[in-house]
Amino acid sequence: MKKTLTMINIEYLEVSYGRKAPALSIDQLQIGRGEHVAVIGPSGAGKTTLLRSIKGYVRPSQGKIEVAGVNLWTARRREQRQISRRLGLIYQQFHLAPRLTVLQNVLCGTLGATSRWRSLLGCFSAEDLRIAWSAIREVGLQEQVHQRADTLSGGEQQRVAVARALAQQPSVIIADEPVSSLDPAWTEDVLKLIATVQSRHDVTLVMSLHQPHLARRFAERVLALRNGRLVFDGPPSALSDDRLEELYRGNNVISLDRAPNTTRSAEATPA
Amino acid sequence: MNVTNLVRSGPRIVEFLDRMYPPDLAWSDDETRPFAPPLRLAAGVVAVTLQISLLGTALGVAVALLLGFLGAENLTPHWVHHPIKIVLALLRSIPVILLALLFVAAVGLGAFPGVLAIAIHSIGMLGKLFAEECESVSGGLWEAMDSSGANWLQKVRYAIWPQVAPQINSLTLFRLEMNIRDSAVLGLVGVAGLGLWIENYRRAFDYASVSTMVIVTMLVVLAVDQASFLIQRHLK
């Protein structure tokens, strides 16, 4: 599948925190519309910084990032808002409102598009409800729709977060280590869900992962960062064990040879 | 202050207690009394005290909510929350009885200065506590709402409010309880209500009536205590 349109365009980007060496320094990076990209690298390599600069939460110290042809830091406020709300975020810690129900949490995804005063009173339009319901169906949480978010398991909470991102009707989904706080079975489940959602809606997915073997299995394209620099950009098949070894050298945290044993398969997991 | 003083005052205290007992439970009014008997006045006076504290608390909570959200470090920029924190600290630093004294001078006797004093004091107290509740909400949730394009009010409504509402309810109820106690005292500086009548009877040396009013005050506070306990339990 060849991607023609560029969704995310990064040129000579540099992000520094304070006077230290730049946390991120990327000369050229283009991500096409509908691509499924995994970002890997040891801790502190700049994965989160890259993801947050795409969302516009981290200000580049040099260079530029364009999303759908718009530079979020120079665009007019209105245009910037319009682009930004199409960039859905998924976090390691889910960040759901624990005391709200699944439906309410998902409806929060529509806030950017909805009428302000009505939403403050808790009134959502039929259209918002339709969007939220279809997102909930997609992640398979119809049964739990009126349950409070804090009564759900970690994997289910991440499914709610995926639905919330979907309710934004995103053109890009940015997932920052979405499975790092899940057990292996749920990891499998959530990654499959994200992949399904990605291909069905043809959204661009940029996802950082702590475990390289997952990136190899799920992504179409892998970016590897080390010390804030892009050291690998290519299909998972080109990511040999030697390359990984090199990438993680000195960070003997991750076992590269094989995936951890999954105790149950994702199919057997109750949705 | 010395020991002899203390010893000498012993009999005086006994005499004083003797004058307070028994409490005046008379119903019929007679010409010789400077004021109507306390039991006749009690219902109306209690009503005024409750009105002052309810209205004062309601006003206070409304403003405290606004200032609480604006004064929370995680919700507003430095130049907004910092001055608000200072204003809240200033409001808190004035004892409520002093506020009442000032408002009596400013707007005259009656219930109104009491309402204002209670409201101002509650803003200072509750505003700070509300802001602290907001500050305890995880920043990630706020960012997640921001990410969907929600504006400030929407973020407050959906990221903050559901998390802080239960604590805000119980803080408010607790404040109401204290305000009812406080408003009973405000009578000493001329605000209408229970305190004013305790003061009126005391000035007339009618200690039996004073003790009736003190008992009424105690009953009201106990009743409010109990009511608030029941409401708290119901809310949980």
Q: What is the pLDDT of residues B62-92, one digit of tens each?
A: 999 999 999 999 999 999 999 999 999 999 9
Q: Is residue B183 part of a domain?
A: yes
Would you state the pLDDT for residue A267? 39
User: ipTM strictly over 0.90?
Assistant: no
Which amino acid appears at position B134 of this protein? C
Question: Facing residues of A225 across strands?
Answer: A230
Q: What is the pLDDT of residue A258?
A: 42
Residue B231 located in a structural domain: yes
> What is the percentage of chain B residues whose pLDDT exceeds 70?
100
Span of A130-144, A151-165, B5-19, B166-180 with lowest mean pLDDT? B5-19
Helix (H) or strand (E) holding A173: strand A172-176
Average pLDDT over residues B53-69: 96
Determine which of A101, A120, A169, A173 to mutate to test the interface with B (most B C-beta atoms within 10 Å).
Answer: A120
Instruction: Quote the CA–CA distance of A42 and A44 in Å, as a whole number.
Output: 6
pLDDT tops 80 at residue B167 = yes
Confidence of residue B6 (pLDDT cuts 50, 70, 90): confident
Q: For B170-195, what is the mean pLDDT? A: 90
Going by DSSP bridges, is the β-strand pair A36-40/A221-226 parallel, antiparallel, or unpaired? Answer: parallel
* C-alpha span between B167 and B179 (Å, rounded): 18
Residue B35 lies in a domain: no
Give which of B93, B122, B114 is closest to B188, Cα–Cα: B114
Tell me the shortest Cα–Cα distance from A224 to chain B, in angstroms: 25
The lowest-confidence range among A61-75, A111-125, B110-124, B170-184 is A111-125
Two tokens, residue B152: 């400030």
User: In 3D, which of A65, A62, A61, A59 has the Cα closest to residue A29?
Assistant: A65
Q: What is the CA radius of gyration of chain B?
A: 23
3-state SS, residue B26: coil
From CA B88, how far away is CA B68, in angstroms rounded? 9
B16, amino acid identity: F
> What does the longest C-alpha to C-alpha distance in chain A come to?
57
How many angstroms separate the CA of residue A256 from the nearest CA in chain B?
A: 31
Computed over every residue of chain A, the mean pLDDT equals 87
pLDDT in tens, A200-243: 999 999 999 988 889 988 999 999 998 899 999 999 988 888 88
Please state the φ and ψ torsions of residue A8, each to the nearest 5 degrees.
-120, 125
CA of A109 to nearest chain B CA: how many angstroms apart? 5
Do the domain assignments include residue B71?
A: yes
Q: Give phi and psi for A251, each to the nearest 5.
A: -115, 75
The Cα–Cα gap between B213 and A68 comes to 75
Strands A172-176 and A87-90, bridge-based pairing: parallel
Q: Which residues, at least 6 apart from B165, have a Cβ–Cβ distance to it below 8 Å? A: A99
Grade residue A154 by pLDDT with cuts at 50, 70 and 90.
very high
Cα B132 from Cα B151, distance rounded (Å)? 22
Domain count along chain B: 1
- Chain A residues close to B160, C-beta within 8 Å: none
User: What is the structure's pLDDT at A115?
Assistant: 65
CATH number at residue B222: 1.10.3720.10
Please judge whether A89 and B138 are an interchain contact, meaning their C-beta atoms are less than 8 angstroms apart.
no
**Average confidence (pLDDT) over A93-97:** 94
Query: Considering the domain boundaries, does residue B58 fall inside one?
Result: yes
The predicted-structure confidence for B197-235, as pLDDT tens digits, reads as follows 999 999 999 899 999 999 999 999 899 889 988 988 887
- HSE toward the beta carbon, residue A183, CA cutoff 13 A: 10
Q: Do B138 and A95 touch (CB under 8 A)?
A: yes
B135 lies in which domain range? 41-235
Mark which residues 48-107 of B lie under 8 Å from A by CB.
none
Is B151 in the A-facing interface, judged by CB distances under 8 Å? yes
